[in-house]
């Protein structure tokens, strides 16, 4: 083994040109590898592909689409959203929707106009405004109200409440007159407001209040980050052209936040690397008092370049965690390179070795290899972590430290061997420098001083153990992005003005014996949605619930009347009248999957963890033929992220059969 190191030192020292040429070739290849590095900011960075929540989320997006883009229209003081539905406003909604839907990465767009059109169809039974309206009692909404009134016990408070509400509705219709089109402001107000002058409950997912309206674009499901960005860009570009008098318009959405995060990862690597190299350069220049002191800087730049190039070829993704490997590898690399360089200087100046490069290789090479293998095994232990991006971090460091070790051994010996042969080093003493004096001082301390050093080390360790439980993992992507950026300002503006910028989605699937249009299912989902909304632990966090059943069920919710769900057949008829993008966002084409979307109030994402648990806990699996009830989408994923980082978590999956 000693001969190997000696021969290696001689070979490298005599062939500096070959070493430089090979290094340049490898750096060029590494550049190709770096070009293949992928930035992972989606759920695959923090969820295992075989985790229940990841599987559920993939299935959910296959059914109902992926991330949502949100544009909020806020009316100025003294103006209401009713002003948006004149002929000009309706044309603007239709135009912007058509433009967004040109993108192949957009699944659907729901505008306030869609919600108004849907309400119009439920009340009149017509598909277009020019069509003949059905008698009030023959429309879907009319039949639902009649069925609810018939179900009340005659003479009961519930029957009286429904009769009074129906009378109010008829009086309002009489005030509208025969012109039941949106060109008539009174008809617009009838569609928009209920009998107590509040925004109809079924309208609130797109129109939360009388001064706020929302356009929701649902991107395609399970898109790559790049395709998701293209879909988001299509939405943003279209919304920039949208304007209404007396209104402010702001657009936000998870894809924009993730896009900013992706850009940060790209720029963040350069920033981290630049800061680390700057600090190292300062230290080396001031404290490493040897000839060619900056050689170590060049070696570490080459080593890190080769390490990340190899990571690119191996498919190791870059995440908010793995980019932290850059300063780690820089630190390890500069340590190795300085050790080898300093050892050569010691052999030349202190030991006066006849062959200093060979001596350095024989004495330090094996030690560096042993330390490197120890580091590799330590980093590979991170493969036991439950979070993918932590495993990727460990793999990047294991690969990187191996590459850097080779570079730190091979690259210094070639130029230093050439230097010592052509211009040997003379004079000097390492004990004369600042670091040398510190080392000499520490080395001259009495053995008894080892005791306080050991005590201090144990105290620091115990202190770390005590405060570890106070450390929390930040799992909210909104907090990962520069809080002063325009993206975050827009996000918080939407939270303040629309009351929410997030959602919790729950999807329910049925077996072959049951359809989501069966009465048993409609009754169950009505009760499930109400229980979630009314539970004290969810109150204030869940603002609205949007479902196929709620479009009719909310109209049956009358103070003093019995709570009841519409029949499954009426829900089916309602979905046949629904605009395509509303229908596809709520029910699958085969009638086997049902979507419930809750708008959630503003707040830290960690606050949603008990909310998701609550949804799981309230899922009732006893409905006949009911297969599964599981949270999915934006609010469910962080639950698994936080748990996977500490213990283990699986999304509950409930099954039942007839």
Q: What is the mean pLDDT of residues 91-113?
A: 96
Secondary structure string (H, E, C) spanning 518-542: CHHHHHHHHHHHHHHHHCCCCECCE
- Residue 67 CA, chain-centre distance (Å), reads 10
Indicate the pLDDT class of residue 243, thresholds 50, 70 and 90. Answer: very high
Domain boundaries, the chain: 2-35+290-425
Could you tell me the two tokens for 637? 């994923």
Strand ranges (DSSP E) for 43-100?
68-75
pLDDT at 603: 64
Q: Quickly count: other Cβ atoms within 10 Å of residue 462's Cβ.
A: 10
Per-residue pLDDT of 353-385, as tens digits, reads 567 777 777 878 788 888 888 889 988 988 888
**Size (the chain), residues:** 658
Helix, strand, or coil (residue 36): coil
Q: Which pTM does this prediction carry? A: 0.76
Which pLDDT band, with edges at 50, 70 and 90, does 1 fall under? low
Q: Across the chain, what does the average pLDDT equal?
A: 82
How many angstroms separate the Cα of 47 from the Cα of each of 41, 206, 352, 404, 477?
Answer: 11, 31, 57, 30, 14
- DSSP secondary-structure letter at 45? G
- The answer, yes or no, to whether residue 335 has pLDDT greater than 70, is yes
Q: How much is the pLDDT for 430?
A: 54
pLDDT digits 0-9 by tens, 133-164: 888 889 999 999 999 999 999 999 999 999 99
| Nearest residue to 46 via CA among 648, 642, 651 | 642
Can you tell me the mean pLDDT for 241-258? 89
Of the candidates 638, 617, 424, 643, the residue with the CA atom closest to the CA atom of residue 528:
617
Cβ–Cβ < 8 Å for 649, 53: yes
pLDDT of 344 reads 76
Q: What's the rounded mean pLDDT across residues 344-354?
A: 69
Cα dihedral 324→329→335→336 (10° resolution) = 170
Q: How confident is the model at residue 313 (pLDDT cuts 50, 70, 90)?
A: very high
pLDDT of 276 strictly over 50: yes
Domain 2-35+290-425 fold is: Multidrug efflux transporter AcrB transmembrane fold (1.20.1640)
Q: How far is CA 642 from the centre of its chain?
A: 13
Average pLDDT over residues 268-283: 79
How many Å apart are CA 597 and CA 507, to the nearest integer? 8
Find all residues with CB under 8 Å of 358, minimum gap 6, and list them: 5, 6, 9, 10
pLDDT of res. 223:
84
Q: How far apart are CA 603 and CA 606, in angstroms?
A: 8
Please state, in angstroms and as integers, the Cα–Cα distance from residue 233 to each residue in 104, 143, 179, 207, following that order: 12, 43, 40, 24
Torsion of CA 169, 173, 176, 177, to 10 degrees: -160
């Amino acid at each position: 083994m000693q001969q190997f190191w000696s021969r290696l030192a001689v070979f490298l020292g005599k062939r500096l040109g070959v070493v430089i040429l090979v290094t340049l070739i490898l750096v060029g290849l590494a550049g190709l590898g770096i070009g293949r590095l992928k930035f992972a900011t989606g759920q695959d960075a923090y969820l295992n592909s075989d985790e229940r929540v990841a599987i559920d989320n993939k299935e959910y997006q296959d059914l109902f689409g992926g991330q949502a883009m949100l544009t909020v229209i806020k009316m100025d003081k003294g103006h209401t959203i009713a002003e948006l539905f004149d002929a000009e406003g309706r044309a603007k909604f239709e135009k912007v929707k058509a433009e967004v839907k040109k993108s192949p990465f957009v699944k659907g767009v729901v505008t306030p106009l869609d919600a108004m059109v849907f309400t119009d169809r439920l009340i009149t039974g017509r598909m277009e405004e020019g069509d003949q309206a059905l008698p009030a009692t023959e429309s879907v909404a009319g039949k639902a109200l009649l069925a609810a009134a018939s179900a009340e016990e005659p003479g009961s408070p519930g029957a009286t409440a429904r009769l009074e509400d129906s009378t109010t509705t008829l009086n309002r219709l009489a005030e509208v007159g025969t012109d039941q089109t949106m060109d008539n402001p009174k008809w617009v107000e009838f569609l928009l407001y209920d009998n107590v002058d509040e925004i109809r409950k079924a309208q609130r997912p797109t129109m939360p209040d009388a001064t706020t309206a929302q356009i929701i674009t649902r991107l395609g499901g399970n898109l790559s980050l790049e395709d998701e960005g293209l879909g988001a860009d299509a939405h943003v570009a279209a919304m920039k052209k949208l304007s209404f008098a007396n209104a402010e318009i702001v657009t936000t959405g998870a894809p924009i936040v993730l896009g900013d995060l992706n850009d940060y990862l790209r720029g963040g690597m350069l920033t981290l690397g630049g800061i680390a190299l700057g600090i190292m350069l300062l230290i080396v220049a001031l404290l490493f008092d040897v000839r060619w002191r900056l050689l170590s800087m060049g070696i570490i730049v080459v080593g890190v370049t080769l390490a990340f190039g190899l990571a690119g070829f191996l498919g190791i993704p870059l995440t908010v965690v793995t980019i932290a490997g850059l300063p780690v590898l820089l630190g390890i690399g500069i340590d190795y390179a300085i050790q080898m360089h300093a050892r050569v200087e010691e052999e030349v100046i202190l030991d006066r070795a006849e062959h200093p490069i060979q001596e350095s290789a024989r004495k330090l090479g094996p030690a560096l290899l042993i330390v490197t293998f120890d580091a590799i095994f330590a980093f590979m232990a991170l493969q036991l972590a439950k979070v993918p991006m932590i495993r990727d971090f460990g793999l990047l460091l294991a690969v990187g430290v191996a590459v850097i070790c080779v570079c730190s051994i091979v690259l210094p010996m070639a130029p230093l061997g050439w230097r010592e042969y052509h211009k040997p080093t003379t004079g000097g003493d390492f004990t004369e420098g600042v670091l040398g004096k510190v080392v000499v001082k520490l080395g001259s301390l009495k053995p008894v001083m080892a005791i306080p050093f050991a005590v201090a080390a144990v105290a620091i360790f115990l202190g770390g153990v005590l405060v570890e439980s106070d450390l929390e993992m930040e799992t909210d992507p909104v907090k990962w992005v520069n809080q002063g950026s325009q993206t975050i300002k827009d996000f918080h503006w939407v939270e303040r003005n629309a009351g929410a910028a997030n959602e919790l989605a729950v999807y329910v699937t049925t077996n072959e014996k049951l359809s989501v249009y069966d009465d048993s299912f409609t009754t169950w989902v009505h009760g499930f949605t109400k229980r979630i909304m009314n539970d004290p632990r969810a109150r204030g966090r869940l603002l609205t619930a949007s479902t196929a059943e709620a479009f009719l069920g909310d109209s049956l919710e009358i103070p003093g009347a019995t709570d009841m769900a519409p029949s499954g057949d009426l829900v089916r008829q309602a979905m046949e009248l629904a605009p395509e993008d509303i229908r596809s966002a709520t029910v699958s084409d085969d009638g086997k999957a049902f979507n419930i979307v809750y708008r959630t109030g503003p707040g830290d994402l960690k606050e949603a963890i008990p909310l998701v648990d609550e949804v799981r806990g309230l899922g009732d699996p006893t409905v006949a033929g009911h297969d599964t009830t599981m949270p999915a989408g934006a609010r469910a994923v962080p639950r698994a992220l936080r748990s996977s980082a500490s213990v283990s978590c699986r999304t509950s999956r409930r099954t039942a059969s007839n």
